[in-house]
A and B are shown apart, each in its own frame.
Chain A
Amino acid sequence: MEEILQRISESQQGYPRRLRSLPDMPACLYVRGRLPKEEQLTIGMVGARSCSGYGRHVAWEYARVFSDHGVQVISGMALGIDGESHRGALQGPTPTFAVLGCGADVCYPKSNRDLYEKIPLNGGLISEYPPGAPPAGWHFPARNRIISGLSDALLVIEAKKKSGSLITVDCALEQGKTVFAVPGRVTDTLSEGCNGLISQGAVIALSPEMVLNELGMDTYSTKGSGKKKQIGLARDLDLVYSCVDFQPTDHETLIQKSGFPPGKVLSILTELQIMGLVEEIGKNHYIRS
């Protein structure tokens, strides 16, 4: 692993042009894999680590569409929105890049091992910290300026009112980048940050195509979402499915809404799960997937 980690300093040719113009950029970068292509459109995606099922779904879907359109997705490989953005982007043909808060040869968080292995195959893991640097709390706000610096635009998926993602937004605004935000329900604390950004003038991102159009790119419909859609479900299944939301819905609520006996509801939920339409994210809490 040592030999594939390259060091690129400011004086070298390969140093990203996007960063050169900025005042507080790192003197050198450590890269596993490669750096984003200069001429290609790049979008940074950030959001809450403890996100909702809705946030995960949106991050995955947007990133996949971006990747299909040849847009590079940059994020921080953290839990939640970050990781899901990378996962969505990996579904498409375009490489994705992660800016880490630890050495580029350190896998953090450990549960994102899959991303740590897959991202550098096409894209790259980027860090301003030397190899072996452990993840430290203050590294993370600092790496946010690199995420926004490397991107042409920043997309915020889900953020609480006081979220670390908003630091990235500040960086992006200072660097003169466009900020997009995905709206949420006004009652969700996880959407307060995004809705707030929109009210302050961020561009509302109602669909990935809308983001791309805004950035001056033509869009075309991409092959289905990769995840299955509900097609001709049996009546009972359809009824239960319609009660499941993108927010976690529990077993008890589904029994109430559908009016079926508890055993039947569970049986139907299992069926929906096996069909890939529903996911159980906590004990007896289900979301659409």
Chain B
Amino acid sequence: MFSSVCSAAILGMEAVPVQVEADVSDGLPMFSMVGYVNSQVKETQDRVRTAFHNKKMGLPAKRITVNLAPGDVRKEGTGYDLPVALAILTALGRIPKRHLEGVMVVGELGLDGKIKGVWGVLPIVHKARGAGCHTCIVPKDNEAEGQLIEGIRVVGVDDLQRVVDLLAKGCLAQEGGRQSRLSFEHLETDLGGPDLSDIRGQEGAVRATLIAAAGMHDLLYIGSPGSGKSMLAQRIPGILPPLTREECLEITEIYSIAGLLTKEQPVISRRPFRSPHHTISPQALAGGGRTPRPGEITLAHRGVLFMDEFPEFSRRSLEILRQPLEERYIHISRVQGIYTFPADCMLVAAMNPCACGYYPDLDRCRCTPAQVRRYLSKISGPLLDRLDLCVETREPTYEQITGGSSPVSSAQIRERVMEVQKIQQERYAGKGIRSNSQLDGKDLEEYCPMTREARRWMERIYTGQRLSPRSYHRILKVSRTIADLEGEELITDVHIREAFGYRIVEQKYL
């Protein structure tokens, strides 16, 4: 007898419905699985058979064929165990077919018949709703995650026997009827995390950080070891506006696919802060694999991608960042097609001024001029052009550490960032631009009006300092954000001059 159960495969950021078909017929006893399955999925048959055995639901000595359709989508992962088991039981007539109509099933089986968590439940449930299913059966561990999607019943189960009982009796509806613990409505965004008030001194760097966050500009910190580069960067997610519910869902979906959600933390409600080590491979950074999985740049979506020791990253890793930072998406091409992952993050980089870290303090720096130049030349080039602001961090003095100055809190700074981002949203409404950092070419002319004095200064700086057109645009964008921070419509000469101080310096040597 033939049966079919609905499940799903994850391709890139999308779930694709997969029909798990089972046929039990007379013939030599055997169990075969077809339908472009990889070896992970082939193992399903052993788990299913043993689980049946241990649950005293022995399989009859018949010919069992399982097919995963469509046959041109490669199936990976362990989430097909439960749908295969249910398809076989339905084919054997132990579960009425109609009880599985409109039900999407996903889950991994243990040998004892327990159901274990899998990755990608959130996008699968999302897809199920889109595909018109009324119920999703997911592992208990992933229940909270699945219940974020409204308008569909999500039933968390932890035991094969129990699922079979529920389905045989057709009482799934009562099981999933109760309200989810984590309803979307009541999703609270988390503003915790390290606070800016821990920072002592660094007024200049904090100011640059505020500007960068307000205009979503990419930022580079330069400073000697231990001068607080990482400390500042870690506090950036905390000064960005709280996540909206849509953003939460979006990020949680990414983390679900990456398999980074846990039972304790089924929702990502804080802006991500990703800090990959500099030995990371280009694939791990951008996303990769035969069926691509999200990389660090996607995991930092709507948050901060912090790259410490920037010049130590391999050139290929750095180069791979260029396109996604520009487009806010990353496209990964494979034989089966092109996968697109979101990558809208703020890039924050940090580096020492030279290999030993103390240049230009010549009493401490032990590098030769050639070494300094070699160190910096590693990042010179097109990627540097992406970074709008660059600022020096400086270890605080003893007086500053022991408290003296009144530190500002993340909450205060966040208020200002939100004000400025609101100004930008209103200004760019309907233009497909979200922040000043995305301005280019024509838009710059339109949205960056300058006073006459500012124009004069811009000209003096441009010709006097031999700026490239690109650095001119960068200075203009940053000036726009500074003007927004000061609440001014026109960019004045003071804003231009301050922005010039944040440009990337092609360091000069002795």
Residues from chain B with Cβ under 8 Å of A252 in the complex: 201-205, 392, 394
Interface contact A274-B204, CB-CB below 8 Å: no
Query: Which range holds the interface residue count of chain B?
Result: 35 or more
Interface contact A283-B494, CB-CB below 8 Å: no
Residues from chain B with Cβ under 8 Å of A256 in the complex: 201, 397
Residues from chain A with Cβ under 8 Å of B368 in the complex: 49-50
Residues from chain A with Cβ under 8 Å of B392 in the complex: 250-252, 282-285
Interface contact B369-A80, CB-CB below 8 Å: yes
Asked, given contacts A250-B394, A262-B204, A281-B508, whether A267 binds B494 with beta carbons under 8 Å apart, the answer is yes
Residues from chain A with Cβ under 8 Å of B360 in the complex: 248, 281-282, 285
Q: Does A52 contact B (CB under 8 A)?
A: yes
Instruction: Looking at the assembled complex, report how far the CB atom of A56 sits from the nearest CB atom of chain B, in whole angstroms.
Output: 7
Interface contact A266-B460, CB-CB below 8 Å: no
Interface contact B507-A267, CB-CB below 8 Å: no
Residues from chain B with Cβ under 8 Å of A273 in the complex: 465
Q: Determine which residue in B360, B482, B505 has the highest number of CB atoms from chain A within 10 A of its CB, and name it.
A: B360
Interface contact B362-A270, CB-CB below 8 Å: no
Interface contact B497-A266, CB-CB below 8 Å: yes
Q: Does A214 contact B (CB under 8 A)?
A: no
Interface contact B501-A284, CB-CB below 8 Å: yes
Instruction: Looking at the assembled complex, report how far the CB atom of A240 sits from the nearest CB atom of chain B, in whole angstroms.
Output: 12
Q: Does B510 contact A (CB under 8 A)?
A: yes
Interface contact A283-B362, CB-CB below 8 Å: no
Closest residue of chain A to B504, judged by CB? A283
Asked, given contacts A271-B497, A274-B464, whether A283 binds B203 with beta carbons under 8 Å apart, the answer is no
A261 to B206, CA, bound (A): 11
Instruction: Looking at the assembled complex, report how far the CB atom of A217 sits from the nearest CB atom of chain B, in whole angstroms.
Output: 30
Closest residue of chain A to B220, judged by CB? A283
Q: Does B207 contact A (CB under 8 A)?
A: yes
Residues from chain B with Cβ under 8 Å of A268 in the complex: 497
Q: Does A269 contact B (CB under 8 A)?
A: yes
Interface contact A263-B207, CB-CB below 8 Å: yes
A262 to B389, CA, bound (A): 15
Which residues of B, 359-396, contact A by the 8 Å Cβ criterion?
359-363, 365, 367-369, 390-392, 394
Residues from chain A with Cβ under 8 Å of B362 in the complex: 50-52, 188-190
Interface contact A267-B501, CB-CB below 8 Å: yes
Residues from chain A with Cβ under 8 Å of B495 in the complex: 267
- Which of A189, A267, A283 is within 8 Å of B390, CB to CB? A283
Could you mark each residue 332-365 of chain B with 1 if its beta carbon is under 8 Å from any beta carbon of chain A, else 0? 0000000000000000000001000001111101
A13 to B241, CA, bound (A): 81
A110 to B362, CA, bound (A): 23
Could you mark each residue 493-506 of chain B with 1 if its beta carbon is under 8 Å from any beta carbon of chain A, else 0? 01101101110010
Interface contact B361-A248, CB-CB below 8 Å: yes
- Which of A250, A261, A263, A274 is within 8 Å of B482, CB to CB? A263
Interface contact A267-B505, CB-CB below 8 Å: no
Could you mark each residue 172-216 of chain B with 1 if its beta carbon is under 8 Å from any beta carbon of chain A, else 0? 000000000000000000000000000001111111100000000
Q: Does A280 contact B (CB under 8 A)?
A: yes
Residues from chain B with Cβ under 8 Å of A80 in the complex: 369, 510
Interface contact B510-A283, CB-CB below 8 Å: no
Residues from chain B with Cβ under 8 Å of A248 in the complex: 360-361
Interface contact B498-A267, CB-CB below 8 Å: yes
Interface contact A266-B498, CB-CB below 8 Å: yes
A82 to B1, CA, bound (A): 92
Q: Does A106 contact B (CB under 8 A)?
A: no
Q: Does B258 contact A (CB under 8 A)?
A: no
Q: Does A242 contact B (CB under 8 A)?
A: no
Q: Determine which residue in A51, A268, A280 has the highest number of CB atoms from chain B within 10 A of its CB, and name it.
A: A280
Q: Does A265 contact B (CB under 8 A)?
A: yes
Q: Determine which residue in B457, B464, B482, B500 has the highest number of CB atoms from chain A within 10 A of its CB, and name it.
A: B500
Q: Does B398 contact A (CB under 8 A)?
A: no
Q: Does A79 contact B (CB under 8 A)?
A: yes
Q: Does B95 contact A (CB under 8 A)?
A: no
Q: Does B24 contact A (CB under 8 A)?
A: no
A274 to B501, CA, bound (A): 12
Which residues of A, 231-289, contact B by the 8 Å Cβ criterion?
248, 250-253, 255-256, 261-271, 273-274, 279-285
Could you mark each residue 68-82 of chain B with 1 if its beta carbon is under 8 Å from any beta carbon of chain A, else 0? 000000000000000
Interface contact B222-A283, CB-CB below 8 Å: yes
Interface contact A51-B361, CB-CB below 8 Å: no
A79 to B509, CA, bound (A): 8
Which residues of B, 249-288, contact A by the 8 Å Cβ criterion?
none
Q: Does A111 contact B (CB under 8 A)?
A: yes
Residues from chain A with Cβ under 8 Å of B391 in the complex: 251, 283-284
Interface contact A50-B510, CB-CB below 8 Å: yes
Closest residue of chain A to B461, judged by CB? A274
Instruction: Looking at the assembled complex, report how far the CB atom of B306 sits from the nearest CB atom of chain A, in whole angstroms.
Output: 18
A248 to B354, CA, bound (A): 15
> Residues on A close to B: CB < 8 A?
49-52, 56, 79-80, 111, 187-190, 248, 250-253, 255-256, 261-271, 273-274, 279-285
Cβ contacts A to B, 12 pairs, < 8 Å: A50-B368, A51-B362, A52-B362, A111-B509, A250-B392, A251-B391, A261-B207, A263-B482, A270-B498, A274-B461, A280-B505, A284-B391
Q: List the 3 closest A-B pairs by CB distance, nearest first.
A: A266-B501, A284-B392, A270-B497
Known contacts A79-B369, A269-B501, A285-B392, then 12 further A-B pairs from the complex at CB < 8 Å, ordered by chain A residue? A248-B360, A251-B204, A256-B201, A261-B207, A266-B497, A267-B494, A267-B497, A267-B498, A282-B359, A283-B391, A283-B392, A283-B507
